[in-house]
Structure 1
Amino acid sequence: MKKIGFLSFGHWSDHPAYKTRTAADTLLQSIDLAVAAEEIGLDGAYFRVHHFASQLASPFPLLSAIGAKTSRIEIGTGVIDMRYENPLYMVEDAGAADLISGGRLQLGISRGSPEQVIEGWRYFGYEPAEDENDADMGRKKAMAFLDKLKGVGFAEPNPYPMFPNPPGLLRLEPYSKGLRERIWWGAASNATAVWAAEQGMHLQSSTLKFDESGKPFHVQQAEQIRAYKEAWKKAGHDREPRVSVSRSVFALVNDQDRLYFGQQGKGADSFGYIEADKRAVFGRSYAAEPDRLIAELSKDEAIQEADTVLLTIPNTLGVDYNVHVLSSILEHVAPGLGWR
């Protein structure tokens, strides 16, 4: 059994073929898609976060709106770049979104990836300490975020407050119990996956990772997941770890599907650079008739290791078509793979 969710990058552009011409289109359609995804039986609605781009960037208003209009589906991110964040403010935003949703937030965070502008986090008022790089800064902020999510008081109260204080040091509010146990880390390397396990975070592994062996993408990703699970076991956490992998999967069940995605299934893994000195392996897209998809996906070692599969969606094609894409996977592919 697998949990199945969608992952949207939330693109928009004033393009004649797009259903999402504006930011408002993307935000409102994201809410509608999450509601529809819950109705068809999907397990999760996840959103990517990118700054300085015509894509979704501020996740908490969107997640809160979805939480208020749904009742069962998990809602989350994949991932928030911690280099851009104020960890304490983020604790408040995340706590509010989690309470509105009734404890369904699954929050993916990371140290960040290459962005649209050079050192964009500097425009947000942040810079690494003298002995740090930007990745160090992102991880330090992540640790501060995790610490404050525990709900332990740390701030000295004002002796003359506007409102009466409870006794002792004060914590950030609103506090959402259990949210600390629902934080995920987006890891691009085996070592970072092990670190995430040691910190008690779940693992998000996307459609790319640093190339550490030259092996096929799904094999390297499976090795990363197994290293993560072993590290979690060694750390002695008293709860079960969760692992998600992202995949572009399209079941070709009608002529429109074949027109949009018929050529994508002919691709293969590719190797390239996401940073000047970081060689990466990029996973292939899957697009084929359902029987062939089942045969191909059954050989994906990383999917076998994961409990959650996030299906990347073409959000610019609109809510109705994306409901069709997701329904096709649920109806024609998931049962054949034992996901349902």
Structure 2
Amino acid sequence: MKKIGFLSFGFWHDGPGPVSSATEAYQQSLELAVGAEQIGLDGAWFRVHHFAQQIASPYPLLSAIGARTKTLEIGTGLVDLRYENPAMMAENASVADIMAGGRIQLGIGRGSPEQVIDGWQHFGYDYTEKEMENIARERGLEFLDLLRGKPFAEPNPRPMFPQKPGLLRLEPYVPKFRQRIWWGAGSQKTALWAAEHGMNLMSSTLVDHESEDPFHVQQAKQLRLYKQAWAEAGHDFEPRTLVTRSIIPIRNDKDLYHFGGRRNGEDSVGYFENYSNPTIFGRDYVGDVETLVKELKEDTAIQEADTLLLAIPNSLGVDYNLHLLEGVVKEIAPELGWK
């Protein structure tokens, strides 16, 4: 059995089209999540990017989805810690989790290259890209520590409201929310660090090109090393691992029109600016159901993970994306034993 969700970037584009404004992007994200639960998906996850026509502040959206659904996991993939204040983030995320009845799966990490140069400086953080490599991890650990609910703040001797004696913690405190925090890892080293600090593993849609093996083999190795490190660390709960794939079953002429040209995808290797290591991107899976079942059986990273996110083209609208998701959940997943 495998949990299956969708991952949306929440794009919108000015001008005519199914998603032509921020209002439509956020409202359709909510509608898509509700529809996904109805057709049997397990999760709705959203990318977070700043200075772009995409989902940015995720917490209101997560809360709204939580209020409209009952079983769906609601996640981020991922919140960019270069832009975040850990204390404010802990409050916002905990409120969203309460609104969702304990169903938030919060993915956090350093994030990917952004739309502007050193964008976090516009959020009040005067650090260089190099300094941010360590600061993002430090903020992640501070955030985890805050979620433990341990009192740490010295109380005002003349407070506005009555309070218990002793140090205070951030409120609201949600027990065990810490066990639903994920770290976005793009390398084996980062995956081991996530295991050491007790976070679930969200393996990136791209990873450092650390061998000549195909993307899925490199990613599967990352997941196995993570699980081994987790066992050695002795944490008191079972970890989860997640991978993301673009899986497009061609079932009608509209599918063929939109995606027929993307058949026979292959892994690709490239460089990001300011990244010293080459990065390998996983292939798309596009084809008829029978072909996709055969090809997906060979994807060792999907086999290794307990959760699979389906990257969706949200800019094509709610109905069409539900059609694509239903094709995977009802026609492909049963053939592979995922559901």
Give the Cα separation in 1 of the matches to 2:105 and 2:199: 11
Written as runs of structure 1 = structure 2, the 5 A alignment for 1:219-258 is: 219-258=217-256
Q: CA deviation at 1:84?
A: 0.3
Deviations 1:136-191 (A, max 9, x none): 01011111100000011100111111100122111101111111010000000000
**Structure 1 counterpart SS, 2:92:** helix
Q: CA deviation at 1:50?
A: 0.3
Say yes or no: does 1:194 pair with 2:192: yes
Paired residue for 2:20?
21
Paired residue for 1:93?
92
Over 3 Å counting, the alpha-carbon distance change for 1:129 and 1:144 in structure 2 is farther
Q: CA deviation at 1:129?
A: 9.0
Say yes or no: does 1:46 pair with 2:54: no
Match of 2:144 among 136, 143, 146: 146
Give the Cα separation in 2 of the matches to 1:261 and 1:223: 30
Paired residue for 1:133?
131
Task: Indicate if the aligned counterparts of 1:245 and 1:308 stay in contact, CA closer than 8 A.
Answer: yes
Task: Indicate if the aligned counterparts of 2:313 and 2:321 stay in contact, CA closer than 8 A.
Answer: yes
Task: Indicate if the aligned counterparts of 1:252 and 1:287 stay in contact, CA closer than 8 A.
Answer: yes
Task: Indicate if the aligned counterparts of 2:249 and 2:255 stay in contact, CA closer than 8 A.
Answer: yes
Give the Cα separation in 2 of the matches to 1:167 and 1:6: 46
Q: CA deviation at 1:268?
A: 0.4
Say yes or no: does 1:298 pair with 2:290: no
Give the Cα separation in 1 of the matches to 2:236 and 2:150: 20
Paired residue for 2:118?
119
Paired residue for 2:161?
163
Q: CA deviation at 1:238?
A: 1.8
Matched-pair identity in %:
59
Task: Indicate if the aligned counterparts of 1:107 and 1:184 stay in contact, CA closer than 8 A.
Answer: yes
Paired residue for 2:9?
9
Over 3 Å counting, the alpha-carbon distance change for 1:129 and 1:247 in structure 2 is closer
Segments of structure 1 that go 5 or more residues without pairing to the other structure are none
Q: What is the identity, as a one-letter code, of the residue corresponding to 2:3?
A: K
Paired residue for 1:72?
71
Q: TM-score, normalised by structure 1?
A: 0.97
Say yes or no: does 1:318 pair with 2:302: no
Q: CA deviation at 1:265?
A: 2.4
**Structure 2 counterpart SS, 1:266:** coil
Task: Indicate if the aligned counterparts of 1:127 and 1:134 stay in contact, CA closer than 8 A.
Answer: no
Of 147-156 and 267-276, deviating more is 267-276
Task: Indicate if the aligned counterparts of 1:112 and 1:135 stay in contact, CA closer than 8 A.
Answer: no
Give the Cα separation in 1 of the matches to 2:301 and 2:52: 30
Q: What is the identity, as a one-letter code, of the residue corresponding to 2:331?
A: H
Q: TM-score, normalised by structure 2?
A: 0.98
Q: What is the identity, as a one-letter code, of the residue corresponding to 1:329?
A: V
Task: Indicate if the aligned counterparts of 1:128 and 1:136 stay in contact, CA closer than 8 A.
Answer: no
Q: What is the identity, as a one-letter code, of the residue corresponding to 1:114?
A: P
**Structure 1 counterpart SS, 2:23:** helix
Segments of structure 2 that go 5 or more residues without pairing to the other structure are none
Q: What is the count of residue pairs matched by the alignment?
A: 338
Paired residue for 2:265?
267
Task: Indicate if the aligned counterparts of 1:246 and 1:310 stay in contact, CA closer than 8 A.
Answer: yes
